[in-house]
Structure 1
Amino acid sequence: MKTLTTSLLWAALAAASLTACQKEQQNLPEPVAQDGNARGLNPLTQMGNARIQGQLDSTIAFGNSNPALNLKLVSYSFRARLDKAADVAAAKARILDAGSVIPVYNRAEDALKANRTPSFELLTLQESTAASKQNTTAIGTVADARTGISSYLDKMVQPGQGQAELVWERNGKRFTSLCLYNEKGLIYDNILANVFTIDNQLKSAAAGEQAKVTASAFTATVLSFDIKWVWGGQRGHITVKHSILYESGRITTNSGTATAWMSVGSADARQRRYVLRNTYAQLTWAYGWATPTGSFSFSYDGSPVKISASVSGVGSKGQGEGIHTIYL
């Protein structure tokens, strides 16, 4: 009997201890906000934030030293996670506030054609809306940046995701942005999602360059470049290739391939056989890409049909088009 009583007592004490631990875990306080150089978060939270921390630290290490951007991430601090629908709504409202800052590119296509990262200015959403309404001639024009951002956030943001406050500096002036993320890293931030760099794998070749055939089956790479995050990681890639077959001194087949992808945004590339002759073949091609604040579209005209690309909206975007020739 004494043994049974002792066993029951120990069981009761163990149950009480387990209940206390569970309550303690359920009522753990939110971590105190820390800047990017402080690591005061508890180990479990650190593990969940590791991906975004790496992206933000890399932005400070690499993006801050890029003279083409002229933009510095000064610090960042973690905020409470989005626990419920009301938190999600508040985060969206903060990002879509008329005073929120967003990068706006002017004549970005010219810089991209010259294999340079284009320059941008920083405007509030209210200012960028006014700017986009002045440019309504492009096909697929986005009415304003807030429309594109709102649509994207509606699809991507949900309870359970994290948020961080980012402090930026440009030309001696500081401003903040709200960064939303999950275990894979960035979901959206007005600055991080709309600033980019370009890494062209064909720096020594022009997109319309002619290529001399040296074999019966020949493929030329028309263009191949990475769209990169401000922290240096690959964000997207676009490739167009042109292939022919020739036999008995004449070209018999003319074809191409085009691939494109981009995260936190969209990208596409098109190609079509343009001209096929005995001694030369031509491929018409075009590509477009844009972040959630911009858009692109393709059009076809002429005989033979030529492909063109148009971009519109604010934020990051790019397009290109041309005709590639392979000759015997």
Structure 2
Amino acid sequence: MKKLATTFKLFAVISVLMFTACQDDNSDMTQETPVNKVSAADLKKEITSGLKTVPENVQIQINDSKQNLEKYLKNDLQITGITVLGKLSTQKGIQISQDLISDKEQFIAEGNILAPETVKVGKTGTLFSGDQLAETQKGLREAAADQIKTGTDLLEISWNYKGEAFTSLCFYNESGILWDNVFAGLVMMDSRGNSEVSPIDAQAKVSSKWFKEWWTAKWLWGSKRGEIGYQITIYYSGSTVSNVDVSDWGNISLGKAKSESKVTKKTGAYGQCRYALGLCTPTGSLSFNTSNFSVSFSGLGSNIVSNGTKSLYP
């Protein structure tokens, strides 16, 4: 009887182990089941007939972009064609658009075409990995969500990058292009910046002098996209400074900007300020460090960062 009981217990244990293993196998199978991905074909189901032809403003932006790409990248990146798709008509269409834009198989671009060595073009999952990939996809989705609404028109742009052909979804309205993964990531920037000094006013009751420095980012078609800068002003009598003011600014379309400034010397032989400025496209991030008064860039993307000190004499 004891032998029978032992045999039964052993059978029960084996049965439990087999049942557990089956559960684990089923669990693994469930986890490995691929999620159905959306495609351009799914998006086209949510599109209705829209503008029959591309608006003049959009066509000018595309034509000017072609010229600038040819001028600065020597045809490494070319626009080879456009196809009008229609108008986004449903909320589901907006959701699919965001999924496609942030998909790791979609092509994106980054860099400053005035510095060709900074330009990168490829699939999101190829250019980024790990946490950077997740942050990039999040940035793309969030930035696009602010631009793509029901009623937005859509076209498909065909590109060629060093012999590799791909397409991007371009969202637009009558005023111009709202979002495109390639246009959003590329900029035209002069890293040297611009500066200006106030004219001399001999008739002024209070002597003052200002100095302004700024950096500008442009769209591929050449119009202004964003700017960061600062201005320091000193008030003086003879050769002695009695007061100092400083201001800063930062802004960009489809991206992020930060600007900070402070006066570090208010009176004496000269005035002085510190400034911390940064500007980047959607796939990057900017942070300000109060301890060393500086802006830093993280992630990948087109960016300008300028931290420094400026002294101004009467």
TM-score normalised to the size of structure 1?
Answer: 0.71
> Radius of gyration: which is bigger?
2
Given that 1:254 and 1:276 are in contact with CA atoms closer than 8 Å, whether structure 2 keeps it comes out as yes
* CA distance 1:164–1:102, change in 2 (3 Å): same
SS at match of 1:196: strand
Q: Which of structures 1 and 2 has the larger relative contact order (alpha carbons within 8 angstroms, sep 6+)?
A: 1
Within-5 A mapping of 1:294-309 = 294-301=284-291, 306-309=292-295
1:95 and 2:87 are equivalent in the alignment:
no
Whichever residue aligns with residue 158 of structure 2, its letter is V
Whichever residue aligns with residue 68 of structure 2, its letter is F
1:197 and 2:179 are equivalent in the alignment:
no
Within-5 A mapping of 1:26-105 = 30=49, 45-46=52-53, 49-67=55-73, 70-105=76-111
Q: Deviations over 1:73-112 (max 9, x none)?
A: 122111121111222222222212211112245xx8xx9x
Higher helix share: 2
Aligned partner of 1:252 among 228, 238, 242: 242
Within-5 A mapping of 1:1-328 = 30=49, 45-46=52-53, 49-67=55-73, 70-105=76-111, 119-130=118-129, 133=132, 143-199=134-190, 216-221=207-212, 223-301=213-291, 306-328=292-314
Separation in structure 2 between the aligned mates of residue 325 and residue 69 of structure 1, nearest angstrom: 43
Separation in structure 2 between the aligned mates of residue 69 and residue 253 of structure 1, nearest angstrom: 53
Whichever residue aligns with residue 252 of structure 1, its letter is S
Q: How far off is 1:146 after superposition?
A: 0.4
* CA distance 1:68–1:217, change in 2 (3 Å): farther
Q: How far off is 1:277 after superposition?
A: 4.2
Given that 2:52 and 2:84 are in contact with CA atoms closer than 8 Å, whether structure 1 keeps it comes out as no
SS at match of 2:290: strand
The equivalent residue for 2:20 is: none
Separation in structure 2 between the aligned mates of residue 277 and residue 153 of structure 1, nearest angstrom: 48
Q: How far off is 1:170 after superposition?
A: 1.9
Separation in structure 2 between the aligned mates of residue 200 and residue 255 of structure 1, nearest angstrom: 26
Given that 1:129 and 1:144 are in contact with CA atoms closer than 8 Å, whether structure 2 keeps it comes out as no
Whichever residue aligns with residue 254 of structure 2, its letter is V
Whichever residue aligns with residue 144 of structure 1, its letter is E
SS at match of 1:232: coil
Separation in structure 2 between the aligned mates of residue 58 and residue 225 of structure 1, nearest angstrom: 22
List structure 1 segments (4+ residues) > 4 angstroms apart after TM superposition. Answer: 115-118, 199-203
* CA distance 1:121–1:67, change in 2 (3 Å): same
Whichever residue aligns with residue 124 of structure 2, its letter is L
Separation in structure 1 between the aligned mates of residue 201 and residue 189 of structure 2, nearest angstrom: 31
Separation in structure 2 between the aligned mates of residue 313 and residue 85 of structure 1, nearest angstrom: 31
The equivalent residue for 1:11 is: none
* CA distance 1:119–1:201, change in 2 (3 Å): closer
Unaligned segments of structure 1, at least 5 residues: 1-28, 32-43, 134-141
Whichever residue aligns with residue 83 of structure 1, its letter is S
Separation in structure 2 between the aligned mates of residue 282 and residue 118 of structure 1, nearest angstrom: 35
Unaligned segments of structure 2, at least 5 residues: 1-47
Q: How far off is 1:200 after superposition?
A: 6.5
Sequence identity percentage: 23
Q: Which moved more, 1:88-97 or 1:316-325?
A: 88-97
**How many residue pairs end up in the alignment?**
263
Q: How far off is 1:284 after superposition?
A: 0.1
Given that 1:239 and 1:259 are in contact with CA atoms closer than 8 Å, whether structure 2 keeps it comes out as yes
Given that 2:228 and 2:279 are in contact with CA atoms closer than 8 Å, whether structure 1 keeps it comes out as no
Query: What RMSD over aligned residues (CA atoms) do the two structures have, in Å?
Result: 3.1
Given that 1:117 and 1:198 are in contact with CA atoms closer than 8 Å, whether structure 2 keeps it comes out as no
Given that 2:229 and 2:277 are in contact with CA atoms closer than 8 Å, whether structure 1 keeps it comes out as no
SS at match of 1:278: coil
SS at match of 2:146: helix
SS at match of 2:66: helix
* CA distance 1:131–1:327, change in 2 (3 Å): farther
* CA distance 1:282–1:68, change in 2 (3 Å): farther
TM-score normalised to the size of structure 2?
Answer: 0.74
SS at match of 1:60: helix
